[in-house]
Amino acid sequence: MNTVLTPSSVPLPPASGAWREGDPAGRRQWYEREEPLALEAGGELPRVRLAFETWGRLAPDRSNAVLVLHALTGDSHAAGAAEPGHPTPGWWDGLIGPGRALDTDRWFVVAPNVLGGCQGSTGPSSRTPDGRRWGGRFPFLTQRDQVAAEAGLADALGIDSWALVVGGSMGGMRALEWAVSRPERTRALLVLVTAAAASAEHIAWANIQLHAIRSDPHWRGGDYHDAGPGLGPHAGLGLARRLAHITYRSEPELRTRFGRTPQGAEEPWNGGRYQVESYLDHHAAKLVRRFDAGSYVTLTQAMNSHDIGRGRGGTRTALSRVTARTLVAGVDSDRLYPLSQQSELAAGIPTADHLRVIESPCGHDGFLIELEQVAALVGELVG
């Protein structure tokens, strides 16, 4: 099995890239749920904490709150520079701030780290009331559980309804769940590059990633968090990231950017790499230092469970609950969540305008890259 460990001059990554008590807090704030959270699949979480970040100021009538929901390996740091506690810049930094589409002189923007995540929210790397880490004992979560936790955060902030709920990919699943399960709390909705339900192909791609992590000898059934540096399931997580990243981009982009070019002076026919291999290695190595394999498994399973119509009479009946003014958008080169899936959403939501298409060669990740086009969609809803 290939590894993602960096050269010996670079310190080995910790067993988990999760945020831990004692690490710099950065811009994080925390919401603590006082009562247990009952879970859709059964059982409960006795203690729930969500890390979140905010920008702007909440209006006296609390009418200017915007909820921003991140994708699989995102976190609460949607805007701002890399700094202690935040190893990477905000993933939507160009969208949030004074004078930007989500103008923080006007809007109070809230971005939580999802339940099950690893950057300050309750997840597999967190400690249970008995003092041990959850590890492999962490329960199965669904988007409905995650939104229930986020609703508790909204209650704690005194926000009765969101002026806008926006998210892409996994964040789009939760945004959709907000609008279906809590229509009275969602006044406008922007759903990007997601689907009404995880498809067989989504689940198939995810299955390979889950097997990669669980087959790593350092996985230890999910109980690896207190192992030493270099002893986490880094190889498995790195392989999962490589595979996922291919689905996030498009074939034409990879062909144009890399083609068959070797990496620097390396000779692929003599044990070296092609540029595209180096690119995937780079993203794998970055992820193992900032993310947790247990959270990757937990969140991927939650995404596989996504079905907005489950127990609600099917997709059409569920989508008919949406009352928010809605825009649904996809990326024309997305091979992970193709436009046909967003077309189904746009046709099924009674308050949705026609499907909007983001033009990008970058595939699924276009919703993170084509900020001018995303900003224009935000402006249509709340401009």
What DSSP assignment string belongs to 63-84? --EEEEE--TT--S--SS--BT
Tell me if 10 is assigned to some domain. Answer: no
Confidence (pLDDT) at 9: 62
Q: Is 169 tagged catalytic?
A: yes
Tell me if 230 is assigned to some domain. Answer: yes
Name the active-site residue from 126, 169, 250, 360: 169
**Residue 350 structural domain:** 29-382
Contacts of 131 (CB under 8 A, 6+ apart): none
Name the active-site residue from 75, 305, 364, 365: 364
Tell me if 256 is assigned to some domain. Answer: yes
How far are the Cα atoms of 126, 273, 345 from residue 24, in angstroms, in the given order? 16, 37, 40
Torsion, CA 320, CA 323, CA 325, CA 327, rounded to 10: -30
How far are the Cα atoms of 14, 123, 203, 304, 363 from residue 293, in angstroms, in the given order? 12, 11, 18, 16, 25
Confidence (pLDDT) at 82: 95
Confidence (pLDDT) at 10: 76
Confidence (pLDDT) at 7: 47
Half-sphere exposure of 347 (CA within 13 A, CB side): 9
54 bridge partner residues: 110
Tell me if 24 is assigned to some domain. Answer: no
Read off the CATH number of the domain in which 200 is found.
3.40.50.1820
What is the pTM (predicted TM-score) of this model?
Answer: 0.96
Tell me if 155 is assigned to some domain. Answer: yes
Give the chain's domain count. Answer: 1
Q: What is the DSSP letter of 146?
A: H
Tell me if 6 is assigned to some domain. Answer: no
Q: Is 231 helix (H, G, I), strand (E, B) or coil?
A: coil
Amino acid letter at 42?
Answer: G
Q: pLDDT tens string for the chain (383 positions)?
A: 344 444 456 789 999 999 999 999 999 999 999 899 999 999 999 999 999 999 999 999 999 999 999 999 999 999 999 999 999 999 999 999 999 999 999 999 999 999 999 999 999 999 998 999 999 999 999 999 999 999 999 999 999 999 999 999 999 999 999 999 999 999 999 999 999 999 999 999 999 999 999 999 999 999 999 999 999 999 999 999 999 999 999 999 999 999 999 999 999 999 999 999 999 999 999 999 999 999 999 999 999 999 999 999 999 999 999 999 999 999 999 999 999 999 999 999 999 989 999 999 999 999 999 999 999 999 999 98
Indicate the helix (H) or strand (E) that contains 169: none
Tell me if 286 is assigned to some domain. Answer: yes
Tell me if 5 is assigned to some domain. Answer: no
Contacts of 313 (CB under 8 A, 6+ apart): none
